[in-house]
Structure 1
Amino acid sequence: MTRKLRIWHSGAILHITARGNRKHNLFRDRKDYQHYLSLLLKAKKRNPFILHSFCLMPNHIHLIIEIIDHSPSKIIHYIHSIYGRYFNKKYNYIGHVFQDRYFSKLIKNWKQLMDTSSYVHLNPVRSKHVPRPEDYHWSSYKSIISTSEDSLTDKERLYGALGDNPQQKYRFYVETKLRIKDWALPKMASVESE
């Protein structure tokens, strides 16, 4: 059986998820999370893309990326192959670290970008890791709601239609979803491949 081709183009914004093999943890300690984030930064320099938001959960990852010139497969393969070797060496394992191929869903407009980013940032709350999204250390939420510079994420697209005080407005948008418990997004489907 052949794989479906993943369709991508320059300027496409994708919600990418990947899970640990057999739903096992991808990250076991602080250094694991830090290593993955350092690989994201290296990948941005090697195969430039825009990272709008992210969340690294213990057994899966969420990335919202905008493609510039390089295929998402090339970007994710670079990060995950290096991370997989690191993880297997550190924990004396062999075999796949990530389950199957990554999944991706095309984000078609700003509203969908806001909803998906909110969903990503509320993941640690929904899974009861933390009571508030800003309490979770391994996501871009704190960066997005602050005025501090961040070399990893690009906030401008999210801020796009928010006007003045975009940090406060984004926080309000996310916290509104938290109050009404509106987490549901359509199930991730494996988007057309490369």
Structure 2
Amino acid sequence: MARKPRVWYPGAIYHVTARGNRRGDLFYDDADFEEYKSLLVWGQKEFPFRLHAYCLMTNHVHLLMETLHLPPGESIKAMHTRYAIYFNKRHKVSGHLFQGRYHATLIDTKQYVLEASKYIHLNPLKANMVASAAAYPFSSYAAYLASHAEDRCVCTEKILSLFTHPAHEKYQAYVDGKDGGTYRNYSKKHWT
């Protein structure tokens, strides 16, 4: 039976997840995490897309990506193929690294994009890996917390534009569950 084609159009935003084969680890150490991050930067140049949030967990990844001219599958396939070759060579293993095809959920409202970014950034905290989401080093959350934080992988402008000044503080309050309605009134209009 043929796979159902994914809905795609230029500017579509997806919450992409990919898991290690048999739920195995994708990252053994900091060097592996950094290699995957470098492939995110490479992928954005080769298959232009915007990455609004990410979190690299030990055995899976979360990406909040906006396509520009190509469907997400082209960039994900290229990045994951390169990462699997790197991983297998470095760790002297063979076989599939990722469990099947990546999963992508289309995000079509501003509210949904905010909820997805919050979910992605809280993932390590919910997994009891850290005492606070800000303490996890392999996510884009730090780039959202201060205007001087730099992360070559992520574009924070679109999501931060949904908050009034000071947007960094208000986004953190939103993620921490202390927002009190501080994001802009965006209703359920489509993301533009």
Post-superposition offset of 1:128: 0.5
Q: CA deviation at 1:143?
A: 0.7
Partner of residue 34, structure 1: 34
TM-score by length of 2: 0.90
Matched, 1:90 2:90: yes
Shift in Å at residue 151 of structure 1?
2.3
Q: CA deviation at 1:146?
A: 1.1
State the distance in 1 between where 2:127 and 2:22 align: 18
Residue 80 of structure 1 corresponds to which residue in structure 2? Answer: 80
Measure the CA separation in 1 of the matches of 2:119 and 2:88.
30
Counterpart of 2:141 in structure 1 is: 141
* Equivalent residue letter for 1:174: V
**1:104 partner amino acid:** A
CA shift for structure 1 position 7: 1.6
- In structure 1, the residue matched to 2:172 is 171
| Percentage of identical aligned residues | 40
What RMSD in Å do the two structures reach over aligned CA positions? 1.0
The AA in structure 1 aligned to 2:172 is R
Partners in 1 of 2:83 and 2:76 — Cα distance? 10
Deviation, structure 1 residue 101 = 0.3
SS of the residue 1:36 aligns to: helix
Structure 2 Cα separation of the partners of residues 24 and 107 of structure 1: 28
1:150 deviates by 3.1
Tell me the residue number matched to 2:158. 157
For 1:170, the aligned partner's letter is Y
Instruction: Return the alpha-carbon distance in structure 1 between the equivalents of residues 161 and 118 of structure 2.
Output: 15
Answer yes or no: is 1:18 the counterpart of 2:12: no
Structure 2 Cα separation of the partners of residues 3 and 161 of structure 1:
36
* 1:157 partner amino acid: K
Matches within 5 A, 1:53-72: 53-72=53-72
TM value normalised by structure 1: 0.89
Displacement of 1:109 after TM fit?
A: 1.0
C-alpha deviation, 1:71, in angstroms: 1.5
Number of matched pairs: 177
Q: Secondary structure at the match of 1:52?
A: strand
How big is the shift at 1:97? 0.2
Residues 152-174 of structure 1, C-alpha deviations (whole Å, 9 max, x = no match): 21111111221211100000000
Distance in 1 of aligned mates of 2:59 and 2:40: 17
The unaligned stretches of length 5 or more in structure 2 are: 179-192
Cα distance in 2 for partners of 1:163, 1:118 equals 17
| Contact 2:26–2:97 under 8 Å retained in 1 | yes
Query: Which aligned segments of 4 or more residues in structure 1 are displaced greater than 6 angstroms?
Result: none
Counterpart residue number, 2:45? 45
CA deviation after TM superposition for structure 1 residue 110, in Å: 1.1
How far off is 1:3 after superposition? Answer: 0.9
Shift of 1:114: 0.7
**2:190 maps to which residue?**
none
Q: Is the 8 A contact 2:23 2:99 kept in 1?
A: yes
